Amino acid sequence: MSAPGHHKSAIVRWYDKVAAFKVEDLFARKTEPGPQRTIFVNENLPDDYHDQRGRVKREHVYATNQVITSKYTIITFVPRNLLEQFRRVANVFFLGIAVLQFFNIFSTISPGLVLLPLLIVLTITAVKDGYEDVKRHQSDRTVNHSMVRVLAGGDWVNPNAMQKKSRTFVRGLMPRLRPKIKVLTSNSNGEELAGVTTAATAVSERVEYDDPVEDAHILPTVFAHGGTETDRLRPHWKTTPWENVAVGDYVKIMNNESFPADILICSTSEEENVAFVETKNLDGETNLKSRNAVSDLTHIRSAADCASPHNKFRIECDRPDVNMYKLNATVKVGKEIFPVDMQMALLRGTVLRNTEWVIGVVMYTGQDTRIVMNSGVTPSKRSKVERQMNPQVFINLIILAIMAVVCGVVDSVLEHRYFPRGAPWLFGETLSDDNPSINGLITFVFALITFQNIVPISLYISIEFVRTCQAAFIYFDSEMYYEKTDQPSLARTWNLTDDLGQIEYIFSDKTGTLTQNLMIFQRCSIGGKMYNGDPEEEEEIKEEPPVYPSEKDSKGIPLVDIPSSSAGSSTRVDKTGARDSAAPAMKKASNEPLRHFHDTDLSRDLREAVHADPNTPNAAHARQLNGFFTVLALCHTVLTNIDPVTRKIEYKAQSPDEAALVQAAADMGFIFRGRDKEVLLLQTPFSHMGVGEEDAASASGSDTDRYSRDGGVERYELLNILEFTSARKRMSVVLRKLDDDGRIFLLSKGADNVIFERLKPGSGVELKAATEKHLDQFANQGLRTLTLAYKVIGEEEYREWSERYNAASISMEDREGKVALLCDELERDLRLLGATGIEDKLQDGVPETIADLKRAGIKMWVATGDKLETSIAIGHSTNLIARESNIIVVRGNQSGRPVYDQLVHSIEEFFPESGILDGEGLTAPPGRPSTTDSTYGHHPTNGGHLQRTQTGMSSIVGANNGERPGGFVLVIDGAALDFVFSDESSKNLLLRLAMVCEGVICCRVSPLQKALIVLLVKDGIEAMTLAIGDGANDVSMIQAADVGVGISGEEGLQAVNSSDYAIAQFRFLKRLILVHGHWSYARNGNMILNFFYKNIVCIGVLWWFQIYCFWSSTYVFEYTYLLFWNSFWTIAPVIAIGLFDRVADDHVLMALPELYWHGREGKWFGIWDFAVYMFDGVVQSAIIFFLILYTYFTTSSRTTGWGVSTYEFSTTMAFSAVFTANFFNGLNTNVWTGWVFFAVFFGDVLILVYTAVYNTLSPGWIVTPVFGNNHFLFPSAYFWLSLPLTILLALLPRYLWKAWRFGFYPDDVDTVRYIHKMDPTRDLSQDQRGVGLAALKRPASVASYPVSRPGSVASFAPGPSTDVRSASRTDMSTGMRSVVHRGFDFSTEENGVAMKRMQTNLSERRQSSRSLASEPNPSPTRRRDTLSHVFGVRRKFLQRKGNSKDSPD
């Protein structure tokens, strides 16, 4: 591994510059991001937007919404493809040789026949490339022709000008009828509209109306064929392809639809004009984000509103930017200006969820959208083997040039010497074009033609054929076929199969690639007792949404028709009462399968708890069960909806974690029924204890009030939400139970260390210890943990706190700080209830795959948009972070150390002897504090060890940080990467630090940063890289890597469309790399070396003959033997190597990933191997030529004593050369199958048959110089004795070397093959430390340290606490170190619009009711702050004796 920036010679730098030439740079449209734009809605463009001819100026013409990921168009296909192919040095050489033979003086055969092989190579490659690109065009067409509702009709005209759409390859081949374009000069009001064009409404276009018609007595209708002409003149929504969407268009997006462009929100179906979007295509986060409409545009709620000339405004936007988290824009309505930020925008690539509809205005289209700007141009990738071949071909060309120069010079010298002596063969050479001086130059050119096979054109045809077959092997591999989706693995780019065998770094996305986008409630600990859930069964995972409950639910809990006030909607209902689009259920946004939680022990305990006697020991646990699931069911922000058809409850959750928690509570009978403004409705197994079974069974939607009043549904008033943030690591709600007592509860959930610090001192010590033990086990199993607690708040205490909280929430100074302090004050003296363990469901086989890839010496980097805690949690569960790993965290926060200092301190602290900082000088770049001038109080100024840091929560410093044996894993966030990529010294430092770490996790990164991370390694250390992902945010990373792999997951096919290989599951990557990659690289490398070898044997024989023909470039063979050398005689064995050779069987390569080091370190193909094979060919050609020559000439082979003819001994040489080359290729084949036997002997038999037939053809049939040669060739004893002698002597050196190496110095492949040969039934995966595999014990790569190989993280049986999360963790930005980390992770939107609206509603309610007098009076009897009165257990249930004490914790 070369160090970044290592010194290179001038020649190498020149060659690298030529080799780095990218054809796509010539054809890519180098369009700079457009200027700042003003979008005009319902008003004409200003006069200064037009030029003198009345056309819109170029700077005000916006990019079309057509997005093209393909490489070619109908115009650029031929020139671009030819340029790509002529990057091969050999193709340029072949073209030059073919051109030379168009001159009669140099012609050997028909010039057209000489050009034919080159044309075949170019045509085959062009057809393959064209086929690949047609597939890309078809994928683009699918995206560009997705349909969206766009405003049309009425007086609506969009004046903003757009570029013309590109004429793509498919569009050019298959032209379609386009609708006629009409030019509008004025609208219905007579206003002039210069230069505005619009497509005429096609009769077949689908239009929709969402406003009632005054003179019609029907509901708003969807006209399948556009309705009448009168209807089309009314404003309506017209479905149109994405590629036709223009800047300034109004669009209407329905639930679960994707956004075609970057859009400004005008209004939504929700009461607060909030929209929920899924952004995992952009940032990989699974939780929904909330967005809100521009306040002054919320009245635009229909097509008529949009088209109304009264609703005219302008949108002033900044120029297109790659930053997906920043937007600077304003909306100007009249003279009023309203600011716009990213919270009011919907980006292309995101999906609308939990919102019936959104109306918006298009701001950016196509190449100007954020997601496309973060994606690169489709690259033209070349394999590493092909790049290595170029210098080898260049060497052969140099050898060819030397040979030609020698022939030309020596021939000229000899002619000058013998011409004065009257040499008969030089008679008449006195002409201007035929004399000893000019003949040297002619001989030079003839030599180029004679020895041209030293660079075989058939090699390129063979490589293309072999790679095509290797792509087919991948497609037909049943081990990589995913039966569930009926999807095989697919090679979309056929020329990179050998690159799969040389991968050094893998860059992976997280969401959808490593995980399934599915949270499953797996385990819980309640009151010190752990419930592990029933064993997982495949049939439990269903595609249907959860519905709670059915009318025949086994729990006997009837369905109550609770109206959902959270999803105010203007969705139209037809006569059947069905909605236009079904509401999602419980994060059913992306249609994930949902799995219910079942636990037999827990169900039994709950049944016993319902009927428990208050004097039994089970009473305390019963109350804890009730409290635990009540917290799960109420401490959240989940909304409910009633399905209009089934009348069953569906949950709408922003966070998949919350969805799993609320669903688990519902599975156990604690059903959240929704909210009526600030009143939460909860049904529990304890709720209906006072209701008779008959009453409960007959309850229906019409009985809601009676059922709730009688106890069927408990009612809680939501008083406050103390929201979750990454700093707080907890969420709490303050509730008042609306019963006779009216008690106030604080329900909390959060990280274990945060909750434990806030427990009531001295209370529940045993419960805390038991819960900690269970949390350790959850973390050991890779689960995301939350700890639950509660507190009963006194009336006076809450009243006083509420007043202070209200004052803080409206404070103008340090509002966030004051609110945080008051939240912390209330969240004290909590009582512990238990903990939960949720599995972020991994793709099948992910931990095992990553573990084996690490054993193969491949370093794994994860790049995700998720937050740091989630990324680390996934690192643990996927085996990327091992048990004893040390985690180095580098953040780009504003309050901590500068990023450069963090990198320097990381190296000084953990790698002091690595030499990374040698020569760095530790000089801080301008504008950055020096590491030697620290201004950070507790940090050392001399770069020494980090000191113990006390925080407000706890001391989290570990004593043995950096000393754990598992190596180091670097975790760095997007903010830090922003700085690193802007500073060359920081980038170099990060690269060097990452090289000495076992793995790297990059969190909170943008799509563009993913690509920059790949390029950092790819260009920095010239390593082979592979990127794998499944979403649009992974496209740039996939394109930047040497090999891009797309997973056809739930995030769409954007990644697959841009990838080189498409697989259905991450686990298939192991077989793709370790088997197909290893095989392809070894096969192709071996095939190419043998190809060069066999041609040097042929050329060598021709070369040695020049000694005896006065260096005249004369052929020693009859020309057809040379012509068919690569076409028939020797082609089959090398093709067999490329198709059927195996260094080891597939199950061996899968069982022993360590064998991959041969490919990773480039051992199967290189310049040294090339030199050895070339030397072998030269030696063998000398043996063949000189032995046969002197055999035939020492004594005549003819019985008559006459001298032999040239073709008599040269044909014997041809036989010997063919047999030797084929057997040598067979000797270099590791596995001899029936196909290999056939291939090795095919050319040998063919040349025998050809010679026997060809020598019998008389000159009357064809001009031939070898007619009758059979009479002298085959009867000769020299022929039959020379063949075995020369073949054996030629092959003997290679055979002896292979035997000596295998016997005395076998490598690990030899060892494994021998073991498998002697004991085919031996399981090598279980015998990695056996004596027979001692050769495998090579020095381990830093990326291949031993790791455990667990199954699914959900399949662990409960066992002793072996905390996999005990790996040391150092945050370099603060200096804090932690050892104990019990798996806390919780994903939800922070400071989102939806939460702000909820807080605003609560605040307004507090303002309108400052007095608590209206609340139910508290009971005059003071209730004990214990679990005996928790959450909805009726007063007569589990009543304590008068002398009872606090229930145990």
* Catalytic residue set: 509
**CA-to-CA distance for 909 and 897, rounded, in angstroms?**
15
Place of tokens 């809450």: 798
1046, β-bridge pairs: 1029, 1062
Contact 1137, 1066 (CB under 8 A): no
Strand pairing class (886-890; 345-346): unpaired
Name the phi and psi angles at 181, rounded to 5.
-105, 130
Q: Are the C-beta atoms of residues 970 and 861 closer than 8 Å to each other? A: no
Contact assessment for residue 518 and residue 588, using Cβ atoms and an 8 Å cutoff: no
Q: Is 284 annotated as a binding residue?
A: no
The answer to whether 518 touches 841, Cβ cutoff 8 Å, is: yes
Closest CA to 499 of 350, 388, 611: 388
Establish whether 1030 is an annotated binding residue: yes
Please tell me whether 384 is known to bind a ligand. Answer: no
Q: Binding residue per annotation — 504?
A: no
State the angle between helix axes of 618-634 and 656-667 in degrees (0 to 180), rounded to the nearest 10. Answer: 140
Q: How many residues does the chain have?
A: 1449
Q: Are 866 and 511 in contact (CB under 8 A)?
A: yes
**Rounded (10°) angle between helices 618-634 and 600-610:** 110
Q: Which helix (H) or strand (E) holds 1420?
A: none
Amino acid at 1011: A
**Residue keyed to tokens 């103390």:** 722
Alpha helix (H) residue ranges in 362-383: 370-373
How many other C-beta atoms are found inside a 10 Å radius of the C-beta of residue 919? 6
Q: Any binding-site annotation on 1034?
A: yes
Query: What backbone torsions phi and psi does residue 1314 show, to the nearest 5 degrees?
Result: -65, -45
711 is in an annotated binding site: no
Buried b (16+ CB within 10 A) or exposed e, 514-550: bbbbbbbbbbbbbbbbbbbbeeeeeeebeeebbbbbe
Decide: 660 and 534 in contact? Cβ < 8 Å: no
Cα separation, 651 vs 1160, in Å, equals: 49
Crossing angle, helix 974-981 and helix 899-910, to 10 degrees?
100
Tokens of residue 502, six digits:
């040389």
Q: How many CB atoms lie within 10 A of CB 30?
A: 6
Asked if residue 749 belongs to a known ligand binding site, the reply is yes
Cβ-based neighbour number of residue 188 at 10 Å: 11
Find out whether 521 is annotated in a ligand binding site: no
637 is in an annotated binding site: no
Nearest to 751 by CA among 780, 725, 770: 725
Angle made by CA atoms 1138, 1143, 1148, in degrees to the nearest 5: 130
Asked if residues 1346 and 863 have their Cβ atoms less than 8 Å apart, the reply is no
| Tokens (6 digits) for 1146 | 């597939």
Residue 359's beta-bridge partner residues? 252, 267
Cβ count within 10 A of residue 170: 18
Instruction: For residue 1145, give every residue at least 6 positions away whose Cβ sits within 8 Å of its Cβ, in sequence order, or none.
Output: 1316
Those residues whose C-beta lies under 8 Å from the C-beta of residue 72, and which sit 6 or more positions away, are: 80, 81, 129, 130, 133, 169
- 553 annotated to bind ligand: no
Residue with tokens 């090999």: 1043
Residues facing 1293 on adjacent strands:
none
Catalogue the E-assigned strands of 649-698: 649-652, 671-676, 679-683
Is 326 known to sit in a ligand binding site?
no
Q: How far apart, in whole angstroms, are the C-alpha atoms of residue 107 and residue 99? A: 10
Bridge partner residues of 796 (DSSP): none
Residue 48 assigned to a binding site: no
Q: Is 57 annotated as a binding residue?
A: no
724 among the known binding-site residues?
A: yes
Q: Is 511 among the annotated ligand-binding positions?
A: yes
Binding site membership for ATP: which residues? 509-511, 658, 724, 749, 784, 864-866, 1004, 1010, 1033-1034
Binding site membership: which residues? 509-511, 658, 724, 749, 784, 864-866, 1004, 1010, 1030, 1033-1034
